[in-house]
Structure formats: structure tokens, C-alpha cells
A and B are shown apart, each in its own frame.
Chain A
Amino acid sequence: MNTSIHETKTDKLFKALVYVFLTGALAIVLYPLIYIISASISNPAAVNSGEMWFFPVDITFEGYNLIFENGAIWRGYLNTIFYTALGTFINLAVTIPAAYALSRKDFVGRNLLMGMFVLTMFFSGGLIPTYLVVKNLGLIDTIWAMVLPNAAAVWNIVIARVFFQTSIPKELEEAAIIDGASNFKMFIKIILPLSAPIIAVMALFYGVGHWNGYFNALIYLSDKEMFPLQLVLREILVLQEMSSQSTNLTGSMAEAMHSKQQLAAIIKYGVMIVSTLPIIIVYPFLQRYFVKGVMIGSLKG
């Protein structure tokens, strides 16, 4: 659409305002991100005094060194990788076949089942009854508490189902049935190879959820050896910082706290980056898949 010939003065002013607004939004979002990167490699004293406000000051990698030497962070990292891999695998194994079956028009009872799933988006037993179920199943302090209570998300089943309804040619299914293929065989030989885009989208959505989640670990895990990265981060970024701001300790406790705080001050910006790194790395390449996922969910209806 070429509108440039018709542009009046007010239009030009309006367009300029739009650019100013967007540049402002860009700056507001970008600044904290740049600040974190700069702060993570600057001298902590310069960061805390406010001397460092944009470009790194006295570049040092001491923070990253300490992070790499920190056993808790490493263990958390490995735990998170494990929970994310296992959790996402289970998510996909539950979501993809179910969504496919629910997309089949000749599947008797699909609306009833879908209704049963969707209802849980609006009504739930709540935190305590769910916790009691997990507890009664003996899942507390096991890896299963990290992957089973969120083995599927209704919204993702909905997205995958819409994908199957709209992207798999019905003729393929009919042909396969005429050829005498069973549903299993058809799913594995025909449907799955065509499902790469939706599997990617689902793996991303679920994977980011596992990577970033802390609440399940908070309520279901008490064994520090099993803590995922986000809980380790919570101790470094939230608990110690909060206590330094809101309590007054005395004596050796205070000293111990103080040295911990010094450590936290040096590594806090670094751990923000290290913990988000995998997502930062994949994000630019996979952004369109994320967006696609949201779009399928919003538009195809």
C-alpha cells in the first residue's frame, strides 16, 4: 500500500509520533537488559554506587568465575536440564496423541472428553487439594513431582488439536484407512512426520515452562540436592537480598550473612544471564515458532 503521495502534514506528524512512541518502548524494554549484561561484567562496587549505568566499568569476570565454581548453581542447572527434558518428553507424549485423537471427527466421545479437559481451565480443586493428591501418591521429594502434576496443559492440547484439524489433509487419513492401516500405524507413519511444526511449538512452550517454573519445586521438593535452578536463584536473588534490606542481624550471623551478601552482590547479575542463557540463545531462531503457536491459538478459529 503506497500512501506516501497522499500524506498530509498531520499524517506526517502522526507517523513521527508513532516512531517516537515505538522508539521509547524499545528503549524502555532494552535498557534493563543491557544494564544486566553490563552489570554482570563490571566491578560490583561501581555497580552498587551507581557509577556503572550503561557501559561496563572496570570489566571483570570474577562474578562468572564464582558462578562456575558454585556447586549449588551447577547442580541446579543439571537438575533443571533433566526436569526440562523429561518433563517436555512426557508433555509431548501426553499432548500430541490426545490432540490428534480429539481432532478426528470419527472419534466418538471427543466432545465429551474435550469438555472434560477444558472445564479444568475454569474450575479446579485449588492448591491444597492438589497438593494432597500429590502427597498421597507419594510423589513429594521425587522427580515425578516435577513432571507429573503438569504433564499436560489444556491450552496446548487445544492448539495442537487445531493444528491437526487444519493442517492434516483428511484425504491422507481416508486413504490410509482404505489401505487397511491401523490408527497406530497411521499416526506413526503418516501423522507424526507431518507434525514437526506443532511438535516444535509444543516442545518450546512446555520446555520454557519447565525451565522457568519454580512453584512446583517450592511446594513439592524439600531436598536441596533436587532443587532446580530457579529455586537456587530464588535463594540468591530474592531471599538474601530481601533479608539484607528488611532485617537487622547481629554478631556472627550478620557476618555470615554479610559475606554471603557480598557474594550475592557479585554474582546476582551473572546468574540472571547464565540462567536465561539457553532461552536467549534459542529465542531469535525460534521466535517465529513461538509466535506461530500463539497465532494458531488465536486465529484459526
Chain B
Amino acid sequence: MSSSTATSPLQQEEVMNKGPKNQNKLKQEKPRKLKKSRKILQNWQLYIFVLPAFLYFLIFHYIPMYGVQIAFKNFIPTLGIWGSEWVGFDHFIRFFESYYFWDLIKNTLGISIYELLVGFPLPIILALALNEVKDNFFKRTVQTVTYAPHFISVVVMSGMIIAFLSPATGIINHAIQFLGFEPIAFLSDPAWFKTVYVLSGVWQSTGWGTIIYLAALSGVDPQHHEAAIVDGATRFQRIWYINIPAIVPTMIILLIMNVGSIMALSFEKILLLQNPLNLESSNVIATFVYQAGLLDAQYSFASAVGLFNAVINAILLVIVNKIAKKTSETSLW
């Protein structure tokens, strides 16, 4: 999935779940002129339309799912996936018993939760604030500017972070020194890594994250506000009692998705910012899989680690979705 579209795949899920119901209704309403087989024959060309996409998902997504069995094997490329010998859970056990296991878990969860706590509320606050602005020029300026960092590539973003935070030449350390403090080696001090990662992410994506909330806010009926004004509600009360409830469903969907992907940390930036000195706090499961699998060619072991990660993720997603369903009636499925 390309990064520019990562905002909310799941909101859509709702739509798709509604799809079949609508279809059933339609089927009942219309007399069934065509039998299923005739429909298939008549629309055979539509199957050709889907064929490229079908082949793509089959080859690049479903075959790898089949290939994930190498996590339970001792994969030797010359023997192929099928010919390699089964070893059961050996790779998993080796991973669980390794000395870095808890570090990886701690870093992965630490960065994700930190990111969630800081990164989740900010777009909501920014969207609510933008929604209060009636001056169109100012609003548009803020929107245009705050959306822009979303389009900066992760390599350039990392280059900016490294340049700005450099202990000797970075502007941030110049500012720190100007205020009379000692320069900080942000990127070689493990204590700073998570903060650097999270705050740079906030800078880059908060503005873009408001779009979805602004869309939800634009659906609020102005009559509610008019009635509230007549009743003497303050601006803050109107936000609290009218605007926030209007965006709660969006918030819940995004929250489920965020919690559900807590182990699937986007690691492209981490990989770029990682160095031997901050590895202690920057080594996460995803970068470890890259290191072990592609650089050290331990295919089976790395697949096992990746599979472990994916399974935990899937379980989390299901649990969070269930909790959301029970408590708020908003859920992905």
C-alpha cells in the first residue's frame, strides 16, 4: 500500500460490508431476469477487467502466504520451499529464547504506543481548531502548509532529521546552545531515538491527518449550532457537545486501525535513522527481520519472526475491534 493512501483503509470496510446487503435488496426488488450462469456468460469481459489485479494479488500476496511455511522449515534455496526439511517451531523457539527478544518487543511496542499517544490526538485538535476558523484565506493557508510535509519522501525526511539534529552543525543544536545548554547528540543517544522518531512523524503527518476529521465535521448540521447558540452555549461547549460527538465514529475507526497495526510499525524511517549507537532503542521487529533475512540470508528464521509479528498483529486487531463493537457500536466488521 502506498504511503499516501494509508489514512484509513478500514473506514471503507464498512462500505464493503454494506455492499452485499444493498445488493440483496436490489435482487429482491428486481425480478430476476437473468440466471446466474447467463449473467456470468454475458459479463465474461468483466472477468478480463479483473484478471490483472487477480494475478497481481495471487502472485505477490497469496504465493508469499503459501511461502510463509518456510518459517517452519529449514529453507535451502536449492531444495525449494517444498523440498526443504520441516523443523516445526524451532525458529520460533530460537527467537523467543534469544537475548534480544524482549528488547525487540519493548522497542516495537514502545515506539508504537508513544506514536499513538502523541500522534492520535493532534490531528483531532488541529481539525477542531481549523473548523472554528471562518476566515477562508487563513484556513486555506494553514491547510495547504500543514498538508505539504506529507509529500516529503521518507529519505528526504530522514535527511532533514539528521541535518537538523547534527550535534555540531544542526540548527536545533545551535538553538540549544544559544539558550545556554550543551548540544545533544540526538541520533547517537538511545534515550532520544523514540522522541525523534515520533515528533518528526507528528510534524510530517498531523496536517494530512486532519482531512478525514474535517470531512466528518463538514457533515455537522449547522442547525445544531444555531440552536445551541440560542440556548447560550459557549464556543467551547458547542465543540464539546456537538462537534466532538460528530467525529467519534471516525476516531474509533482510526483508533482501531492504529491499535491493530501497533506491531506493524512503518519501519522505513527507522531503518534510515538507525545506527550502531542508537540500535539499543531503535531495533524493532521489522528492522530485525530485514537484517536477519535479507542481509544475513537467514530466510527461515526471519520469516518466523515476521510471522510471529503478523499473528500478534492480527490478534490485536480482532480484539480491539471486538472491544469497540461492544462499547460503541462502531467497528470495522
Chain A interface residues toward B at CB < 8 A: 1, 3, 6-8, 10-11, 14-15, 18-19, 21-22, 25-26, 28-30, 32-33, 35-36, 47-50, 53, 93-95, 97-98, 100-102, 104-109, 111, 113-114, 116-118, 120-134, 137, 148-159, 162, 182-184, 187, 204-206, 208-209, 211-215, 219, 230-231, 233-234, 236-238, 241-242, 245-246, 265, 268-269, 272, 275-276, 279, 283-284, 287, 290-291, 293-295, 297-301
- Is A126 in contact with B68, judged by CB distance below 8 angstroms? yes
Other than A108-B36, A130-B60, give 8 A-B pairs with Cβ distance below 8 A. Answer: A15-B132, A123-B310, A132-B299, A162-B12, A162-B15, A245-B188, A295-B212, A297-B5
Top 4 A-B residue pairs of the complex, sorted by shortest distance between their CB atoms: A125-B64, A237-B159, A209-B2, A50-B174
Chain B neighbourhood of A124, CB < 8 A: 61, 64-65, 310
- Is A125 in contact with B50, judged by CB distance below 8 angstroms? no
Known: A35-B171, A94-B56. A233 touches B64 (CB 8 A): no
Do most interface residues of chain B lie in helix, strand or loop, or is the interface mixed? Answer: helix
Complex Cα distance, B141 from A120, in Å, reads 38
Sample of 11 A–B contacts (CB below 8 Å): A22-B142, A32-B160, A49-B174, A97-B52, A106-B34, A124-B310, A125-B67, A155-B9, A214-B268, A275-B156, A294-B7
- Is B171 in contact with A53, judged by CB distance below 8 angstroms? yes
B166 within 8 A of A: yes
Known: A127-B289, A132-B67. A117 touches B171 (CB 8 A): no
- Residue pairs across A and B with CB atoms within 8 Å: the count is 350
Shortest beta-carbon distance from A278 to chain B in Å: 10
- Is B60 in contact with A148, judged by CB distance below 8 angstroms? yes
Chain A residue with minimal CB distance to B54?
Answer: A113
- Please tell me which stretch of B97-105, B113-121, B190-198, B301-309 contacts chain A, meaning at least 4 of its Cβ atoms lie within 8 angstroms of it: B301-309
Shortest beta-carbon distance from B311 to chain A in Å: 9
Shortest beta-carbon distance from B305 to chain A in Å: 9
Known: A32-B164, A182-B45. A26 touches B268 (CB 8 A): no
B138 within 8 A of A: yes
- Is B8 in contact with A150, judged by CB distance below 8 angstroms? no
The A-contacting residues of B in range 42-81, CB under 8 angstroms, are 43, 45-47, 49-50, 52-54, 56-57, 59-68, 70, 81
- Is B63 in contact with A133, judged by CB distance below 8 angstroms? yes
Shortest beta-carbon distance from A98 to chain B in Å: 4
Q: Which of B156, B159, B175, B216 contacts A241 (CB 8 A)?
A: B159
